[in-house]
């Protein structure tokens, strides 16, 4: 740690030395003052020489001594002192001019460096953005005017020809699959590239120029077996899926044909019995034949087995059947060398959507369908079946068994690793289970030894929890109760809408109903189910009852609503709500998606705009309590030996991205420099930049209703005005040298510098006051001590006379010696 030693000189003496040199100080620390005087001494030596510097110090010393001498307070003394100061200041004028020029030049250089740094960063960003545009254009084929042929860029021969275009060779990756020691890259144009260890022909590459086969490569190389030059029908194969395992690979083309290559042991290539017992691999992708010329939708490669799903939802398995990993039943324990239909699933009318093969186990998920019920979409299907060894499943499962814990979840993808599994729901939730080696399931294995193996699928809440109905069964209340139709009828899950199942109030002015969610939660949307029955009197409108609900307000608040009536209650609810909306259209189900992504609330109120009866069937409040650990919806999951990889899909809604961006730059303008590097926020950056006071006018997106955010609290303590209007007695936000908003780190340094200086001044004043108080007390004590000593001296002087007074008038005689 660096140690800084301050000179043991009084602060006032340093100030006086600076003033004698014509320096003006405002809010300066002792350290800064010492550095400034050190610079002045160096300039004196440079301009005046050592002799001039020594003479100046001697004159300064005499002036200080003469100033501290209180015996001369007449006008002549003051005039002489001022004359000496002026003479000293005049002699230092050339040094002061040189110092000011150097300071000005240094400040201009620092400003130029800062502006150049900001400009270089902006130019680098614009250059990257331009290159990104060119790359995107290269990835998208350009067709001729008729739209039948691809346009080919040709370099111009003459000056009037088209501009020169160099081939870039940029191809976008559409799919990636990683095996034990090799990787396959599937491009958007349907071509395939592989790299890694080439043993057993797992890369599918042809012999190189030196005739070597099964060679390793550090760079992706194209699998030319799917190229037109290596095919007799002169037609390129366009691939759409690839899968890799420990020593073999598989790919599906656009026509639904399956190709496999690599190690052929245990029959995992699915091409039948290999004739050469010494050459158990294939360098060239081989076509796998299925009965009935079925087209394949999905394929997965395991350590020693493989699986594929047809477009009709049929499952085919082949390879090693050891441990029941093929799910063909207890009677199949040998090697299956050709794709075999799992008839047990066909008999149970299970339509398979996707298959995943692990080390010694397998998993499938069924097709997901949806249906609408009263305007609400419900998902059906998406069940998960597993089979295989006990390492991952805790017991041997020889035939496909359904996992009941995932029923109703709607699983759309499964993944098998070495000894664990994962499943992604249609809502983006991730479930994991199996052997929890090194925490590969995402659940903390260090908490308890029982977490070393997760026997049932568990939701990984740290990533995403799909919003669910938080209002179900929660305590609620309403303004008045009519015909014993109390508030609990709106949170019992019954959306039927008949009169007997609805809450009902008396005829009131702006009646309300509200629910308490128990604790603050992030609310995503609210559904309000209306009454459905119609009047029996044909002279009345069929919408007589349902129209009473509109217009109505829905409020969301973090604090309990006040029990007020009429306009006063409606006004108070608006003031304390973090979000509210007015609905006017008569609907069976009114759905309100809250405008911001992180609206926090605990109390939800439904209140009419006018005087009427309030009745409706149900209120559903969808949200989550564990929102502060929210990461995002899971798009895809992949499992390996002892690891799990999760991919989050990008948010495509521009309004949501703009809201995220504005929240980020409202907290810190420097966030714009980070976010602009991502394609998702490029539009937001060009639209809002680093943010201005006009853009950020209005309520803060980070503050709560009755609690300011940390940034606004900082603005208040520093007396800064973040808005473009108002703010009496407040300072405008400082800006950078280029004129835009200053980042939070730099702004804090500026504010702390001002605050620190004020604190030092207050501390110095306090110390001076305490020193004066101590001096006064010491002086009073000294005066008291002196008075006590004088009193004692007087007492001693009076004592002999008092002793001799009784003997006055008596005769004395002297003794002769």
* Region 291-464+631-649: CATH code: 2.130.10.30
Confidence of residue 816 (pLDDT cuts 50, 70, 90): very low
pLDDT at residue 246 above 80? yes
Give the pLDDT confidence score for residue 643 in this predicted structure: 92
Segment among 61-70, 85-94, 494-503 with least mean pLDDT: 61-70
Mean pLDDT is highest, among 620-634, 678-692, 706-720, for 678-692
Give the pLDDT confidence score for residue 767 in this predicted structure: 67
What are the phi and psi torsion angles at 323 (to 5°)?
80, 5
Average pLDDT on 422-449 reads 87
Give the pLDDT confidence score for residue 763 in this predicted structure: 57
Confidence of residue 793 (pLDDT cuts 50, 70, 90): confident
Give the pLDDT confidence score for residue 130 in this predicted structure: 84
Give the pLDDT confidence score for residue 504 in this predicted structure: 96
pLDDT digits (tens, 9 = 90+) for 193-214: 999 999 989 999 988 878 788 8
- The C-alpha atoms of residue 521 and residue 621 are separated, in whole angstroms, by 10
pLDDT digits (tens, 9 = 90+) for 474-516: 999 999 999 999 999 999 999 999 999 999 999 999 999 999 9
- The C-alpha atoms of residue 351 and residue 523 are separated, in whole angstroms, by 36
Confidence of residue 51 (pLDDT cuts 50, 70, 90): confident
Cβ atoms of residues 310 and 288 within 8 Å: no
Omega of the bond prior to 551 within 30 degrees of 0, cis?
yes
Give the pLDDT confidence score for residue 158 in this predicted structure: 56
Give the pLDDT confidence score for residue 583 in this predicted structure: 96
Which pairing describes strands 397-402 and 368-373: parallel, antiparallel, or unpaired? unpaired
pLDDT at residue 804 above 50? no
Please give the DSSP secondary-structure letter assigned to residue 752: H
- The C-alpha atoms of residue 514 and residue 479 are separated, in whole angstroms, by 9
pLDDT digits (tens, 9 = 90+) for 4-47: 555 567 777 777 777 777 777 766 777 777 888 888 888 888 88
Q: Which has more pLDDT, 322 or 99?
A: 322
For CA atoms 462, 355, 250, 361, the dihedral sign is: positive
- The C-alpha atoms of residue 530 and residue 620 are separated, in whole angstroms, by 12
pLDDT digits (tens, 9 = 90+) for 147-182: 666 665 555 555 565 555 555 555 678 889 999 899
Reading the block at residue 168, the tokens are 């870039």
pLDDT at residue 539 above 70? yes
Please give the DSSP secondary-structure letter assigned to residue 76: H
Q: Using a pLDDT cut of 70, give the percent of the chain over it.
A: 82
Distances (CA, A) of 460 to 366, 451, 463, 632: 22, 14, 6, 12
- The C-alpha atoms of residue 221 and residue 205 are separated, in whole angstroms, by 8
Give the pLDDT confidence score for residue 379 in this predicted structure: 74
Confidence of residue 470 (pLDDT cuts 50, 70, 90): very high
Task: Considering only the C-alpha atoms of the chain, give the largest distance between any 2 of them, rounded to a whole number of Å.
Answer: 164
Give the pLDDT confidence score for residue 710 in this predicted structure: 84
Give the pLDDT confidence score for residue 11 in this predicted structure: 75
Q: Which has more pLDDT, 732 or 254?
A: 254
Q: Using a pLDDT cut of 90, give the percent of the chain over it.
A: 41
Q: Which has more pLDDT, 420 or 723?
A: 420
pLDDT at residue 473 above 60? yes
Average pLDDT, the chain: 83
pLDDT at residue 811 above 50? no
Segment among 294-303, 560-569, 571-580, 782-791 with least mean pLDDT: 782-791
pLDDT digits (tens, 9 = 90+) for 606-653: 999 999 999 999 999 999 886 555 678 899 999 998 899 999 887 777
Sorted by sequence, the CB contacts under 8 Å of residue 355 that are 6+ apart come out as 298, 299, 300, 307, 308, 309, 315, 362, 363, 364, 414
- The C-alpha atoms of residue 360 and residue 416 are separated, in whole angstroms, by 9
pLDDT digits (tens, 9 = 90+) for 365-394: 999 887 766 555 677 889 999 999 999 999
Segment among 235-244, 307-316, 791-800 with least mean pLDDT: 791-800
CATH T-level assignment (fold) for domain 468-534+544-627: Jelly Rolls (2.60.120)
SS (H, E, C) 10-65: CHHHHHHHHHHCCCCCCCCCHHHHHHHHHHHHHHHHHHHHHHHHHHHHHHHHHHHH
Give the pLDDT confidence score for residue 1 in this predicted structure: 35
Q: Which has more pLDDT, 404 or 51?
A: 404
What are the phi and psi torsion angles at 363 (to 5°)?
-145, 150
- The C-alpha atoms of residue 153 and residue 508 are separated, in whole angstroms, by 75
Mean pLDDT is highest, among 77-81, 89-93, 99-103, 695-699, for 99-103
pLDDT at residue 807 above 50? no
Cβ atoms of residues 625 and 519 within 8 Å: yes
Strands annotated E in 658-712: none
How many alpha carbons lie under 13 Å from residue 450 in its C-beta half-sphere? 2
pLDDT at residue 92 above 80? no
Q: Which has more pLDDT, 730 or 277?
A: 730
What SS3 state is found at 171? coil
What are the phi and psi torsion angles at 228 (to 5°)?
-65, -30
């Amino acid at each position: 740690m660096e140690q800084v030693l301050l000179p043991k000189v009084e602060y006032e003496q340093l100030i006086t030395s600076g003033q004698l040199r014509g320096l003006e100080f405002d809010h300066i620390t002792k350290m800064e003052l010492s550095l400034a005087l050190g610079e002045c001494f160096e300039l004196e030596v440079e301009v005046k020489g050592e002799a001039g510097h020594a003479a100046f110090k001697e004159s300064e010393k005499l002036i200080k001594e003469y100033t501290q001498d209180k015996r001369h307070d007449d006008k002549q003394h003051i005039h002489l002192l001022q004359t000496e100061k002026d003479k000293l200041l005049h002699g230092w004028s050339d040094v002061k001019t040189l110092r000011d020029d150097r300071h000005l030049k240094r400040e201009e250089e620092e400003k130029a460096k800062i502006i150049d740094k900001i400009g270089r960063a902006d130019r680098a960003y614009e250059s990257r953005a331009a290159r990104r545009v060119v790359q995107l254009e290269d990835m998208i084929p350009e067709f001729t005017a008729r739209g039948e042929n691809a346009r080919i860029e040709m370099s111009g021969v003459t000056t009037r020809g088209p501009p020169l275009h160099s081939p870039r060779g940029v191809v976008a990756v559409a799919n990636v699959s990683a095996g034990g020691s090799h990787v396959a890259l599937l491009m958007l144009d349907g071509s395939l590239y592989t790299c890694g260890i080439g043993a057993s022909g797992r890369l599918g590459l042809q012999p190189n120029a030196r005739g070597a086969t099964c060679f390793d490569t550090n760079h992706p190389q194209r699998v030319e077996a799917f190229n037109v030059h290596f095919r007799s029908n002169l037609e390129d194969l366009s691939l759409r899926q690839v899968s890799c395992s420990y020593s073999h690979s598989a790919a599906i083309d656009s026509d639904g044909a399956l190709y496999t290559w690599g190690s052929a042991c245990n029959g995992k290539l699915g091409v039948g019995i290999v004739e050469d017992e010494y050459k158990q691999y294939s360098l060239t992708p081989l076509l796998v034949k299925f009965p009935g010329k079925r087209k394949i939708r999905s394929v997965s490669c395991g350590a020693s087995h493989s699986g594929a799903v047809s477009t009709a939802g049929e499952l085919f398995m082949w390879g090693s059947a050891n441990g029941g990993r093929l799910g063909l039943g207890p009677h199949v324990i040998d090697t299956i060398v050709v794709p075999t239909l799992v008839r047990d699933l066909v008999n149970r009318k299970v339509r398979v959507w996707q298959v995943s093969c692990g080390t010694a186990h397998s998993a499938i998920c069924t097709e997901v369908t949806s249906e609408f019920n009263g305007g609400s979409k419900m998902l059906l299907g998406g069940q998960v079946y597993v089979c295989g060894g006990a390492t991952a499943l805790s017991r041997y499962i020889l035939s496909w068994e359904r996992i009941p814990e995932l029923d109703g979840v709607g699983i759309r993808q499964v993944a098998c690793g070495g000894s664990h599994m994962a499943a992604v729901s249609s809502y983006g939730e991730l479930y994991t289970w199996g052997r929890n080696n090194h925490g590969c399931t995402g659940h903390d294995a260090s908490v308890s030894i029982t977490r070393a193996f997760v026997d049932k699928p568990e939701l990984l809440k740290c990533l995403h929890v799909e919003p669910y109905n938080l209002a179900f069964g929660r305590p609620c209340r309403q303004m008045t109760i009519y015909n014993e139709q109390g508030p609990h009828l709106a949170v019992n899950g019954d959306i039927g809408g008949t009169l007997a199942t609805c809450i009902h109030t008396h005829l009131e002015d702006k009646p309300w109903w509200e629910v308490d969610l128990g604790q603050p939660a992030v609310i995503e949307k609210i559904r309000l189910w209306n009454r459905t029955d119609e009047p029996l009197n044909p002279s009345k409108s069929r919408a007589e009852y349902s129209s009473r609900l509109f217009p109505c307000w829905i409020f969301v608040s973090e604090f309990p609503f006040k029990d007020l009536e009429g306009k006063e209650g409606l006004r108070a609810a608006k003031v304390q709500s973090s979000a509210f909306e007015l609905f006017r259209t008569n609907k069976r189900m009114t759905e309100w998606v809250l405008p911001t992504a992180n609206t926090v609330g605990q109390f939800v109120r439904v209140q009419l705009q006018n005087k009427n009866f309030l009745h409706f069937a149900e209120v559903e409040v969808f949200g989550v309590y564990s929102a502060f650990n929210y990461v995002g919806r899971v798009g895809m999951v992949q499992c390996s030996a002892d690891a799990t990889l999760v991919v989050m899909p990008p948010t495509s809604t521009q309004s949501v991205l703009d809201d995220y961006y504005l929240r980020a730059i409202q907290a810190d303008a420097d966030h714009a420099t980070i976010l602009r590097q991502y394609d998702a926020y490029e539009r937001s950056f060009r639209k809002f930049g680093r943010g201005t006071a006009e853009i950020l006018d209005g309520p803060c997106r980070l503050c709560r209703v009755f609690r300011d955010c940390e940034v606004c609290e900082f603005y208040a303590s520093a007396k800064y005005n973040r808005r473009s209007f108002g703010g009496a007695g407040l300072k405008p936000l400082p800006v950078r040298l280029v004129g835009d908003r200053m980042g939070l780190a730099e702004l804090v340094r500026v504010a702390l510098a001002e605050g620190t200086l004020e604190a030092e001044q207050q501390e110095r004043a306090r110390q001076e006051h305490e020193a004066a108080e101590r001096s006064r007390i010491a002086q009073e004590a000294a005066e008291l001590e002196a008075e006590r000593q004088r009193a004692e001296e007087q007492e001693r002087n009076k004592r002999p006379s008092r002793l001799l007074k009784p003997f006055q008038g008596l005769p004395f005689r002297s003794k002769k010696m």
